[in-house]
Amino acid sequence: MGAMDVILIAMPWAGITYPSIQLGILKSLLDRSGVPCTPMSLNLSFFEYLAVRPEADRLSLEQYDYIGEASGLGLGEWIFASAAKGHADAARDDAYRDFVTGRNPEHGVLEKAERARRLVPGFLDQCAEKILALQPRVVGFTSTFSQTFPSLALAKRLKKQAPGLRVVFGGANCDGTMGKTLHALYPWIDVVVRGESERGAPRLFRELAAGGVISRQPGLCIREDGEVTAVVEPEPGGVNMDESPLPDYDEYFQRLANSPVSDQVGAGGITYESARGCWWGAKHHCTFCGLNGSTMNFRSKPASPVFEELHTLARRYKNLHFIVVDNIIDMNHVKELLPMLRAGDIDFSFYYETKVNLKKQEMRLLHDVGVRTIQPGIESLSTPILKLMRKGTTALQNVRFLKWCAELGITPDWNLLYGFPGEPPEEYSRMADLMASLTHLTPPSSVHPICINRFSPYYEDADKFGIRLEGPKPWYRFLHETDEKSLNDLAYFFEHGYDDGREPEQYVEPVFRAIALWKQDAEKNYRKLTVKRGPGFVLVTDGRSNGKGGTYTLDGVAGEAYLACERGATPHRVWSTLSPEYQSGVSENEVKDFLDQMVSTRLVFEESGHYLSLALPEGERLGATDRPVAGLQKQNQPAPARLFPATVV
């Protein structure tokens, strides 16, 4: 085999501030199997290609990410579609532009997309020239979300100039029937890999590079001598995580170090995977979630190998920031890995995804090891709606998570979804009112309707949930020139309606307004509801622009009662934690009356008889309110005649 038998490619619109983990793992797999290969981060190359153009042709990082992530618009795909098809279709393009305009895209982004589209042929020619100069025998493309048409466009150019070149597609866009249909529609794709690649990729690429017969491995779609074969997909379950090697990111970091956009992109982060699947989804598949496809089964690396791999990658790339791509954090890692990292005294920083039902000490552990941004599966601030989506959480847990994030110095990157079938419309007015009590916490990054994704329960059992599937998102029809059945088999995102005829936009408006106000003063209000302990009293200061303002002095029993609600508690639980001298002089009903008063002043959140204090410890005393109520120092004086004084100054 030659030095460049295989080239592995990540096209736009994969993120450019971190390396492709797909390329990194494949590179290590093939190296380990004796198959020489070279990765190419052409997503970064495209950003560079635009960066040297006139100002009007350039994309900011935010615009690049928006184009790649706007799954409802298909902008990233459209930019490369005519190059992939080999011709422009004016009528289709005009219809597509009308479609995008009608969806109110970010200001100016369609004009930027038009300019980028005109530059695509030159970029593809440049890429093809560099690739073919290396005389590869095989080119592999990883395709996730908006990478299908960019990959098709370059693959077609390569195949036209080098007909003997073997082209392989893989990635999330090729899972299940999507991969089989993609292979059937675009004849310049020789092989599609469906499912995880660890077990089959080394053998496949070795056979392709040698020019021999391709073994019929599970999940492959093969085109040989005019015949197309789709081998049955592997059994569900997926590979063991010890079969997945440490990714090799040399090419990305070398390219970034020498890139003209390195200052704009920054130092980059290291993409890392310690687990696959979802332990929650394996038990209770969230109704809207289409992630994991055929590999929901949760698998995780033990803590010790993860610890060693993190150190190895950090040393190799002189980088301490890790983007952990696990769909959900392994709770065994919380128990075992995080204490190891904390004891290691290395200044790592991490981005993680998690459920919100973490204990406070677990969140403090996350903070201590360097988690500064986290993606929690909040989705809603309504318990009835959370039940509909099978989240296994409550609104109180979600609010408590946001509160603890603000207290501990962790930024939650969360979204609010709406439009769940069967959701009570009145919940949105209730949520809007709740949001007025949370303006000192981090608002949602975005609010948008649910999308019906392939592999989700809403897609698989649409009738059961009262959902009416209305075909693929419209942009698929503007881009793929094929019949309706093929479009349905190819698509991941789908349009939908409701059997009961509901139109969520008619009742979600209160939440839109509340979030707009929340974001408007987010920086000014952040952490501006605070609590301080005094000897025998507690001070709660409300500095929120929408709050009643002032400082509440909670003497004696009132202070103890407020602090007892730090995690959320019933009036009975609060009463049972009071000091004996207070407990004997106050009833459970009086405790409840006081807590209801705190709710009315937006200092406490109540749900189903559980009360959660909302104030944060002032200053840098992280976790100060986590101390037991007994820690409140008492003055040597009798309990006041008025059991629950709450004066405001």
Containing structural domain, residue 209: 6-241
Of residues 307, 358, 367, the one with CA closest to residue 329: 358
pLDDT at 235 over 90: no
The domain boundary residue, chosen from 211, 241, 271: 241
Q: With b meaning 16 or more CB within 10 Å and e meaning fewer, what string describes 552-589?
A: bbbbbbbbbbbbbbbbbbbbebbbebbeeebbeebeee
pLDDT tier for residue 425 given thresholds of 50, 70 and 90: very high
Which helix (H) or strand (E) segment is 551 a member of? strand 551-555
Instruction: Report, as an integer, the average pLDDT of 466-484.
Output: 96
pLDDT in tens, 509-534: 999 999 999 999 999 999 999 999 99
> CB-based contacts of 9: which residues, under 8 Å, 6+ apart?
23, 39, 40, 42, 131, 139, 140, 141, 142, 151, 154
10 three-class SS = strand
pLDDT at 215 over 70: yes
pLDDT in tens, 319-345: 999 999 999 999 999 999 999 999 998
pLDDT at 107: 87
Strand residues in 231-316 grouped as ranges (E): 270-272, 275-276, 299-300
pLDDT tier for residue 639 given thresholds of 50, 70 and 90: very low
pLDDT tier for residue 613 given thresholds of 50, 70 and 90: very high
How many Å apart are CA 208 and CA 211, to the nearest integer?
Answer: 5
Instruction: Report, as an integer, the average pLDDT of 173-188.
Output: 96
Q: How many CB atoms lie within 10 A of CB 232?
A: 10
CB burial of residue 526 (10 Å; 0-12, 13-18, 19+) = middle
Q: The tokens of 293 are what?
A: 């496809």
pLDDT at 630: 42
DSSP class of 333: I
Hey, which residues does 551 pair with through a beta bridge? 541
Q: The tokens of 439 are what?
A: 């303006």
Q: Taking the CA of residue 460 as centre, how many other CA atoms within 13 Å lie in the half-sphere pointing to its CB? A: 11
The CATH code of the domain that includes 569 is 1.10.10.10
Residue 512 lies in a domain: no
How many Å apart are CA 618 and CA 542, to the nearest integer?
Answer: 11
- Measured in whole angstroms, how far is the alpha carbon of residue 283 from the centre of its chain? 20
pLDDT tier for residue 632 given thresholds of 50, 70 and 90: very low
How many Å apart are CA 175 and CA 293, to the nearest integer?
Answer: 7
pLDDT at 626: 53
The domain boundary residue, chosen from 182, 208, 241: 241
Of residues 368, 375, 363, the one with CA closest to residue 403: 363
Residue 120 lies in a domain: yes
The three-point CA angle 84-86-90 to 5° equals: 100
pLDDT tier for residue 587 given thresholds of 50, 70 and 90: very high
Of residues 621, 443, 414, 620, the one with CA closest to residue 526: 443
- Give the lowest-confidence range in 271-275, 447-451, 645-649: 645-649
User: How are beta strands 646-648 and 220-224 bridged, if at all?
Assistant: unpaired
pTM of the predicted protein model: 0.94
Which residue do the tokens 């797909």 mark? Answer: 22
How many Å apart are CA 10 and CA 8, to the nearest integer?
Answer: 7
Q: How many CB atoms lie within 10 A of CB 348?
A: 17
pLDDT at 619: 62
pLDDT at 607 over 70: yes
How many Å apart are CA 215 and CA 218, to the nearest integer?
Answer: 9
pLDDT at 624: 46
pLDDT at 636: 36
Torsion 484-489-494-498 (CA) sign: positive
How many distinct structural domains can be found in the chain? 2
Q: With b meaning 16 or more CB within 10 Å and e meaning fewer, what string describes 426-448?
A: ebbebbbebbebbbbbbbbeebe
The domain boundary residue, chosen from 241, 257, 285: 241
Q: The tokens of 347 are what?
A: 């200044």
pLDDT in tens, 349-399: 999 999 999 999 999 999 999 999 999 999 999 999 999 999 999 999 999
- Give the lowest-confidence range in 103-107, 127-131, 594-598: 103-107
pLDDT at 1 over 80: no
How many Å apart are CA 591 and CA 622, to the nearest integer?
Answer: 28
Q: Average model confidence (pLDDT) for the chain?
A: 93
pLDDT at 635: 40
Q: With b meaning 16 or more CB within 10 Å and e meaning fewer, what string describes 38-47?
A: bbbbbbbbbb
* 595, 561 contact by CB (below 8 A): yes
How many Å apart are CA 22 and CA 151, to the nearest integer?
Answer: 14
pLDDT at 644: 57
DSSP 63-106: HHHHHHH-TTTTHHHHHHHHHHHTS--HHHHHHHHHHHHHT-PS
Instruction: Report, as an integer, the average pLDDT of 628-645.
Output: 41
Of residues 489, 458, 455, the one with CA closest to residue 472: 489
Percent residues over pLDDT 90 in the chain: 88
Residue 393 lies in a domain: no
Radius of gyration in angstroms for the set of CA atoms belonging to the chain, rounded to a whole number: 28
pLDDT at 313: 98
pLDDT at 640 over 70: no
- Give the lowest-confidence range in 1-10, 131-140, 174-183: 1-10
How many Å apart are CA 628 and CA 566, to the nearest integer?
Answer: 10
pLDDT at 233: 87
* 452, 496 contact by CB (below 8 A): yes
pLDDT at 646: 52
pLDDT at 237: 79
pLDDT at 637: 34
Instruction: Report, as an integer, the average pLDDT of 446-462.
Output: 96
